[in-house]
């Protein structure tokens, strides 16, 4: 199925879920009532969206999503993409403790040249110590001798 056809299927499902008839005339009317971005859409443009001939521009997609009460990225790309993004965000939220957040906050306050240098150091470190076979485990720090010099 093509990207345009997939969008058409999601648009049809969103219309049905919101209780609207799946017709170009309904889309044209309901969209134009809410659209303040310039020239209104034609019934032909709505027909093209509904029948997999074209995909609306981002600003029009946003208006469609607000009208149909669906997340714009879900309407445009499908639920799987939205789930993937949520899982990635959740991973960051769950695995980031205060120490990591402090490090990232400090990193973001550095000048760009210093951030690039640190990025290179971290990526090099990761290449050396991260492998597909074994989880990351940083090398242990050398032990200090007690009672020494």
Asked whether residue 52 falls in the same domain as residue 121, the answer is: no
pLDDT tens digit string along 29-69? 999 999 998 899 999 999 999 999 999 999 999 999 999 99
Residues ≥6 apart with Cβ < 8 Å to 91? none
Whether residue 102 sits in one domain with residue 66:
no
Work out the angle between the directed axes of helices 3-17 and 58-68 (0-180°, nearest 10): 30
Instruction: Tell whether 139 is covered by a domain.
Output: no
Over residues 101-123, the pLDDT tens digits come to 898 889 999 999 999 999 999 99
Query: Cα 139–143–147 angle (5° rounding)?
Result: 175
At 1, is the pLDDT very low, low, confident or very high (cuts 50, 70, 90)? confident
Residue 18 belongs to a domain: yes
Whether 62 is in a domain gets the answer yes
Residue span of the structural domain in which 46 resides: 3-81
Instruction: Give exposure, 25-38, as e/b (b: 16+ Cβ within 10 Å).
Output: eebbebbeeebeee
């Amino acid at each position: 199925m093509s990207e345009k056809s997939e969008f058409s299927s999601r648009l049809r499902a969103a219309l049905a879920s919101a209780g609207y008839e799946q017709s170009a005339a309904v889309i044209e009317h309901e969209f134009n009532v809410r659209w303040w971005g310039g020239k209104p859409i034609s019934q032909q443009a709505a027909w093209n969206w509904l029948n997999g001939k074209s995909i609306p521009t981002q600003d029009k997609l946003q208006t469609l999503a607000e009208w149909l009460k669906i997340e714009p990225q879900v309407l445009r790309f499908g639920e799987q993409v939205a789930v993937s993004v949520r899982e990635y965000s959740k991973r960051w939220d769950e695995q980031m403790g205060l120490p990591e957040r402090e490090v990232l906050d400090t990193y973001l306050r550095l000048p760009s040249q210093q951030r690039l240098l640190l990025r290179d150091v971290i990526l090099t470190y990761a290449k050396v110590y991260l492998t597909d076979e074994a989880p990351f485990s940083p090398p242990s720090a050398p032990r200090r001798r007690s009672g020494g010099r």
